[in-house]
A and B are shown apart, each in its own frame.
Chain A
Amino acid sequence: MTAARNIAAILAASLAITACGSDDVAEPDGDGTVAVGPPPTAPAASTPTSDETITLVAYDSFPDADTSLNEALASFTATTGIGVDILRAGDTGTMLSKASLTAGNPEGDVMWGIDDSLLSRAVADGVFDPYVATGLADGSVEISEEFLALVPDGEATPVDYGDVCVNYDIGWFSERDLDPPASLADLADPAYAGLLVVQNPATSSPGLAFLLATIHEYGLEGWQDYWTALGENGVEVVEGWTEAYYERFTWAGGGPTPMVVSYGSSPPAEVIFADPPRDDSPTGVIEATCYRQVEFAGVLRGTDAPEAARQLVDFLVGDQFQAEIPLNLFVYPTNEAVTLPAEFVDFAVIPEQSRTLDPAVIDANRSTWIDEWTELVLG
């Protein structure tokens, strides 16, 4: 019965989509006709100031419809008349490679989500047009100096941040009366042998962040010894986040390892998306292992709607949009005026001192570090 209903729904939905699809196709022609026709007549006049539509290029996990984030964008359109299409360009690395290849003739007008480890490459490749958001220039929007220092010339605008941290299965540790580790050094302690799964930094963004955390802790000359120790302590390496969290982690995957490299915002997500609902998080974060990632938005160089693109960047750091960031993207807003939702206050950890490295240093060494790490841990 359910199957039959599903199939019916599928068929109905597919018809609906086909219909929408043909509308979309017809649209540009429609616009063209309006432009050619002599008198600019009534219908278009109702929109406020402009009837431009610009494209926001984002990574795949940026929601393209139905969420409060998209509703915020719709209200931007309502007040400015500027429509916003969302174009998803792959994971962050893929998005940047595409942006670099098309620098000067971009796929869209504004880009969301280049993180600090990729920022110097984006800037060097001329992806962005420097722009300082109006709110930042006139002081109505406040963003931590720590983030603004990464873009001294307004190369891009810091829009969110988050941490990559070792997560642990609270139940697993309490059943065994074992305290979870409190530092990176503890992870190499034989008491925690074979309890940690990490991602390959060569192919995974949280994996790379965790490697950077260890480089931050032990320095350019010391991290290799630390990883040798981790290896001797039975650290498990898998290729990506999904395999680590959903296959190997004791909590979510029924796997053998009660500690996994994930995000600082994973515990609140475990509460929000719990089934059945629950009031406390089954997982916790080991604060001392956290590495900070900052994401940026910017005007793409070569946009044919620079003014509208700048207005959108202003909006992206504004209070309204920033307030929707935590529960949709599971990162923190950079705008300091925004109050966090209760789930985030209760279950997420913003480490007092998260680790960061200079983006230029990361960019210069990334490839070498990864090769060295591969040799050391997998070789």
Chain B
Amino acid sequence: MNRLPRRLVGALAIGPIAALGVFYLWPFATLLAEALTGGAVSDTLTRSQTWDVVWFTFWQAMVSTMCTVAIGIIPAFVVARFEFRGRRLLVGLLTATFVLPTVVMGAAFLALLPDSVDRTVWAVIGAHVAFNLAVVVRVVGSLWEHLPTDMEHAAATLGASRRRTLTTISLPLIRPAITAAATIVFLFTFTSFGVIRILGAPGTRTIEVEVWRRATQLGDIGGAAVLSLLQLAVLAVLLVWSTTAQRRHSRALALEATAPRRRPRTTAQRRFVALTAGAAALVALVPLGALVARSFSTPTGWSTNAWTDLGRVEVRPGIRVGTDPVEAIANSLTTAAWATAFAVAVGALASLAITAAGRHGRLIDAGLMLPLGTSAVTIGLGMLITFDVDPVDWRASWWLVPVGHALVAVPFVVRTCVGVLRSVDPAMTAAAATLGAGPVRAWRATVVPYLWRPLAAGGALAAAISLGEFGATSFLSRSGGETMPIAIEQLLGRTGTTLQAQGYVLATILAAVTIALVVAVDTIQGIVDARVTGE
């Protein structure tokens, strides 16, 4: 199948592998070597608490994932197949819900829940579903919108009901994307931290929370390392299964480069689209609305002061906050730009390598997902004791934070691209070869062009993730200004009405920037697509 010269595949793969090795595997291994002791292993594995935590982590992630996929598939379909006003905005809103820091969204979500659900596992699962809907909509949607509609039409012509068409034609075809989305959602909910702490019953812990607690609150770095390894082991099994399944189920399809979206025609369709889009928008808008409301609210009434005073140095004569929101916005944008550049470069090379390398591609694919499943504490501490001597004395280098963000973002770029690249019909490459193109030329002409569109989408997601990233940033030591999520956490961590309101102002801005970013990229794509079809 793979007729590309090995050297080319190797050259594509070397960059991503090196990045993963230096910034993930090496620090993680160093920390394990430093902290892992026989005592720590036996202490941790014999503590019954450990297994309670592992079981809870597993089942809540399983339930959260199943609910998210089952619910998310509907808006994914609507967004991929129908053109309607506000479609891009809807995707932008959902994406913002996904990437906004949980300290902010969790609090907003909490305010909306009835007291009887507050701080229960149902609140946790509900929040997981709401926050991860975007993953299903984007990952599944990006393949779905490329699926040729003729098979569906053929089935319909042959008398298949809409439902039958869905279950026998569409669902099997998008199965790899569903697996991919489910894998990401599972990774995220399995390693959930903020949602558990804010919405869960007190004392509820995922492995991620317990790793953090052991490493930072109890100083038990050995115990943290064992748990982190345990977490990774569970996820590694899942990843191997998932990447195998994706490969097995991915079929070559005559992908259509442009989205065959149409406006809903019948009344039933219009209702269905309106209902789905409306419900999905509510899920995103209601917490965002709570956020905006809080930026205007004080214990004694409404006030616009937090907005008008934003960036003012002195809160009162001689008193300054020390957290500059405007500076934080600038810092976040710069960091996001770098993180996106890293993530897109690594992600593009990796996606091409993964699809070109056949079975070995699976390893790169799974490897790049690992950082998502590793606790941010372990990576942060690992980097600290790895990059501490010349010539790799990189501690507190400004670029370490965007690299950390890129580690988290690369899997999204890869997931978005690989699904599309895998579906490129080999017959096209074969045709190119028949016409006299060498393997490299044929690949460049038939496969590579399909990369740009998902790459742009993946890049937007990477930028959005970087804007909202909290975990890795907070565990790396930083000099200079803070990113928005950290500044928000700091403002909300101090007493004082002004500080609280400014925290929510910043959160609102973060949400707005994220939505604007995602909508802008989608719009540009739309224009490009229109031009392509116009020709």
Contact = CB atoms under 8 A, between A and B. Distances in A.
A96 to B, nearest CB: 7
B216 A64 contact: no
A93 B215 CA distance: 8
A251 B489 CA distance: 20
B116 interface: no
The 6 A-B residue pairs whose C-beta atoms are closest, nearest first, are: A273-B496, A63-B322, A13-B330, A378-B203, A269-B495, A237-B202
B494 interface: yes
A252 B501 CA distance: 11
Contacts of A272: 315-316, 319, 496
B381 A101 contact: yes
Contacts of B321: 63, 67
Nearest to A10: B329
A212 to B, nearest CB: 14
A97 B493 contact: no
Contact of A98 (B111, B299, B477, B496): B477
A263 interface: yes
A266 B486 CA distance: 21
A240 B501 CA distance: 19
Contacts of B217: 93, 202-203
A62 to B, nearest CB: 8
Contact of A64 (B209, B322, B333, B398): B322
Interface string B377-420: 10001001100110000011010000000000000000000000
A74 interface: no
B388 A252 contact: no
Give the interface centre of B482, B489, B493 by most chain A CB atoms within 10 Å.
B493
Nearest to B115: A256
Interface in A262-305: 262-263, 265-266, 269-270, 272-277, 282
B384 to A, nearest CB: 6
Contact of A13 (B34, B322, B329): B329
A185 B298 CA distance: 33
11 contacts: A14-B329, A17-B327, A64-B481, A94-B215, A203-B197, A263-B495, A272-B316, A273-B499, A275-B497, A328-B322, A370-B218
Contact of B498 (A2, A64, A243, A273): A273
Contacts of A379: 203
B300 to A, nearest CB: 7
A105 interface: yes
A16 interface: yes
Interface in A46-93: 55, 57, 60-61, 63-70, 85-91, 93
Nearest to A98: B384
B469 to A, nearest CB: 15
Given A13-B327, A14-B334, A61-B490, A101 B34 contact: yes
B490 A60 contact: yes
Nearest to B334: A17
Given A65-B322, A107-B395, 15 more contacts: A63-B320, A67-B321, A67-B322, A69-B322, A90-B474, A94-B215, A94-B216, A97-B215, A118-B219, A200-B203, A263-B495, A272-B315, A273-B494, A273-B499, A274-B497
Interface in B209-251: 209, 213, 215-221
B466 interface: no
A55 B209 CA distance: 30
Nearest to B512: A3
Given A10-B513, A90-B216, A252-B497, A107 B315 contact: no
A274 B498 contact: yes
B436 interface: no
Nearest to B308: A2
Contacts of B218: 366-367, 370
A273 B305 CA distance: 12
Contacts of A273: 315, 494-499
B152 interface: no
A202 to B, nearest CB: 6
B297 to A, nearest CB: 8
A63 B306 CA distance: 20
A118 B202 CA distance: 24
B213 A94 contact: no
Given A89-B477, A100-B219, A251-B299, A246 B323 contact: no
Contacts of B178: none
A27 to B, nearest CB: 11
A23 B316 CA distance: 33
A217 interface: no
Nearest to A91: B216
Nearest to B303: A275
A21 B398 contact: yes
A270 B495 contact: yes
B103 interface: yes
Contacts of A6: 509
B331 interface: yes
Interface in B479-515: 479-482, 486, 489-490, 492-501, 509, 512-513
A65 B202 contact: no
Interface residues of A, number: 82
Interface in A332-346: none
B107 A246 contact: yes
Interface string A357-379: 00000000011001000100011
B299 A254 contact: yes
Contacts of A36: none
B343 to A, nearest CB: 18
Given A61-B490, A89-B477, A252-B299, A96 B319 contact: no
A239 B475 CA distance: 19
B271 interface: no
Interface in A95-149: 96-98, 100-102, 105, 107, 118, 121
A87 B381 CA distance: 15
A34 interface: no
B360 interface: no
A189 B26 CA distance: 56
A238 interface: yes
Nearest to A3: B512
Given A262-B495, A274-B496, A328-B322, A97 B216 contact: yes
A60 B481 CA distance: 11
Contacts of B311: 9
A327 to B, nearest CB: 6
Contacts of A168: none
B324 interface: yes
B227 to A, nearest CB: 15
Contacts of B500: 246, 252
A121 B216 CA distance: 12
A266 B495 contact: yes
Contacts of B305: 275-276
Contacts of B513: 10
A228 interface: no
A239 B197 contact: yes
A60 B104 CA distance: 18
A183 interface: no
Given A90-B475, A101-B34, A275-B298, A66 B203 contact: no
Given A242-B492, A243-B198, A272-B316, A102 B385 contact: yes
A319 interface: no
Nearest to A92: B216
